[in-house]
Structure 1
Amino acid sequence: MKKELKIAATIFVVVFIIDQVVKYGFANLGWDVDGPYMSLKLAYNYGVAFSMFSFLEHYLKYIQLVIVLIATIYLFMNKTVFKEYYLPIALLFAGGLSNILDRFTYGGVVDYFYWHYGFEFAIFNFADVMIDLGVVIIIYKQIKQSREEKKKNGI
């Protein structure tokens, strides 16, 4: 368990710092770049994915902090879950807490990746990608585990 915690903490710190440094550059140093397929353009998201719940703009950071606190308590009480999923948990917590920090620092989440070739896609950031990667890893592990159980039970 100690090894997993060290790895998770390292991943958390690295992802969190990279995300915050990049966001600082876009928010304060004007790192915007226009491209033919994708642009790097500063935008603030006052809601969650695709700006949903933006009407909760001022309360969202507190709601999200409560969710992170509940998840932390759950993991503390279920150490086997953490041991099994420490990598995606580190990615989820780093991305989630970095986005929450944006809400306190900038008033909204700093987004900057803007895909606009062929179709326009939502603007997102590195933390969002890490959150998505964490979810994909969890889903992959769940599918793999389900298949192994079916094979073991002869189904």
Structure 2
Amino acid sequence: MIDKFKIACSIFIALLIVDQVIKFGFAHFGWGVQGPIISLQLAYNYGVAFSMFSFLAEYLKYIQLTLVIIGSFYLYKNQYLFKEYYLAIALLYAGGLSNILDRFTYGAVVDYVYWHYMFEFAIFNLADVLIDLAVALIIYKQFRNSKKSQETL
């Protein structure tokens, strides 16, 4: 358990730092590149995915931080879940806390990856990708565990 915790903390810290450095570059140094498929350009998201709940902009950071704290207490009480999903949890916390840190630092989430080939897609960032990857890992493990339990019946 201690080894998995150390691995998860290392992944969390490394990804949080990488994401924050990239966002700092876009927010303060004017980084940006226009491409035919994907452009890298600064955008501030005052809501959550696809700018939903942007009317809660000032309160979202507190709501999200509360959810992270509740989730942390839940993981503490159910440590077997951390043991099983430590990699996904590290990714989820790195992405989630990085976006929450943006809200406290910039007043909104710093987004910068803009897909615009054939259709316009939302602008997103590395933290969003980490959160999506964490959810995909959790779903994969759930399917795998479900399949294993069905095979044993």
Which TM-score band applies after superposition, normalised by the shorter structure? over 0.9
Over aligned residue pairs, what C-alpha RMSD do you find? 0.4
Question: Which residue in the other structure is 2:136 paired with?
Answer: 136
Shift in Å, 1:32: 1.0
Q: Distance in 2 between matches of 1:80 and 1:38?
A: 40
Q: Distance in 2 between matches of 1:4 and 1:105?
A: 30
Residue 25, structure 1, aligned to residue 25, structure 2: yes
Shift in Å, 1:18: 0.3
Shift in Å, 1:74: 0.3
Q: Which runs of 4+ in 1 moved over 4 A?
A: none
Shift in Å, 1:87: 0.3
Residue 107, structure 1, aligned to residue 107, structure 2: yes
Question: Which residue in the other structure is 1:12 paired with?
Answer: 12
Q: Distance in 1 between matches of 2:148 and 2:84?
A: 15
Unaligned runs of 5+ in 1: none
Q: Distance in 2 between matches of 1:101 and 1:146?
A: 36
What percentage of aligned pairs have identical amino acids? 65
Q: What whole-Å deviation, never above 9, does each CA across 1:44-88 have from its counterpart, x for those lacking one?
A: 000000000000000000000000000000001111000000000
Structure 2 counterpart SS, 1:39: strand
Structure 1 counterpart SS, 2:47: coil
Question: How many corresponding residue pairs?
Answer: 153
Q: What whole-Å deviation, never above 9, does each CA across 1:107-140 have from its counterpart, x for those lacking one?
A: 1000000000000000000000000000000000
Q: TM-score, normalised by structure 2?
A: 0.99
Residue identity in the other structure for 2:82: F
Question: Which residue in the other structure is 1:73 paired with?
Answer: 73
Q: Distance in 2 between matches of 1:18 and 1:134?
A: 17
Residue identity in the other structure for 2:130: M
Q: TM-score, normalised by structure 1?
A: 0.98
Unaligned runs of 5+ in 2: none
Q: Distance in 1 between matches of 2:80 and 2:147?
A: 20
Q: Distance in 1 between matches of 2:36 and 2:79?
A: 47
Shift in Å, 1:147: 0.5
Question: Which residue in the other structure is 1:89 paired with?
Answer: 89
Q: Distance in 2 between matches of 1:35 and 1:59?
A: 35
Q: Distance in 2 between matches of 1:67 and 1:12?
A: 18
